[in-house]
Amino acid sequence: MKGVTILGSTGSIGLSTLNVLSQHQDKYQVIALAANNSVEKLKEQCLIWRPRYAVMANEKSADKLRDLLSKEDSETEVLSGQDGLVMVAALPEVDCVMAAIVGAAGLIPTLAAARAGKRVLLANKESLVMSGQLFMDAIHENGAELLPIDSEHNALFQCMPGGYEKGLSSVGVTRILITASGGPFRETPLSELSIVTPDQACAHPNWVMGKKISVDSATMMNKGLEVIEACWLFNAKPEQIEVLIHPQSVIHSMVEYEDGSILAQLGNPDMRTPIAHALAWPERISSGVNSLNLFDIARLDFEIADPIRFPCLKLAADAMIAGGTSTTILNAANEVAVSRFLQGEIRFTDIAKIVESTLTNVPSIAADNIDCVLDADKAARQYSEQIIGELAA
Which segments within the chain are labelled E, that is strand?
Answer: 2-7, 28-34, 53-56, 77-80, 96-99, 119-122, 145-148, 173-180, 241-245, 251-257, 262-266, 303-304
Which of 173, 179, 129 lies closest to 154, judged by CA?
179
63 in the same domain as 120: yes
How wide is the angle at C-alpha 126 spanned by C-alphas 122 and 131, nearest 5°?
100
pLDDT at 23 (0 to 100): 97
Query: Among residues 307, 323, 353, which one ends one of the domains?
Result: 307
Q: How many CB atoms lie within 10 A of CB 181?
A: 20
Q: Can you give the pLDDT at residue 127? A: 85
Residues of the chain with pLDDT under 70: 206-208, 392-393
CATH of the domain at 110: 3.40.50.720
Within-domain flag for 388:
no
Taking the C-alpha atoms of residue 344 and residue 333, their distance in angstroms, rounded to an integer, is 17
Q: Do the beta carbons of residue 221 and residue 309 sit within 8 Å?
A: no
Domain shared by 158 and 24, yes or no? no
Same domain, 159 and 183: yes
| 111 touches 127 (CB < 8 A) | yes
pLDDT score, position 34? 97
Residues 139 and 211 in one domain: no
Give how many domains the chain has, as a whole number. 2
Distance CA 262, CA 285 (A): 26
Give the integer Cα–Cα distance in Å for 146 and 118: 8
Q: Which of 307, 288, 291 is nearest to 356 (CA)?
A: 307
Q: What is the pTM of this model?
A: 0.91
Which residues form the domain of 47? Answer: 2-148
pLDDT for 393 = 60
Does the residue 46 lie in any domain? yes
Is residue 375 in some structural domain? no
In a domain, 37, yes or no: yes
**∠240-242-247 over CA atoms, to 5°?**
160
- Give the DSSP H or E segment for 383: helix 370-392
Question: Is residue 45 a part of any domain in this protein?
Answer: yes
Same domain, 140 and 211: no
pLDDT at 382: 97
Cβ-in-10-Å burial (0-12, 13-18, 19+) of 165 comes to middle
Residue 392 lies in a domain: no
Task: Tell me which of 283, 307, 331 is where a domain ends.
Answer: 307
Q: Are residues 90 and 166 in the same domain?
A: no
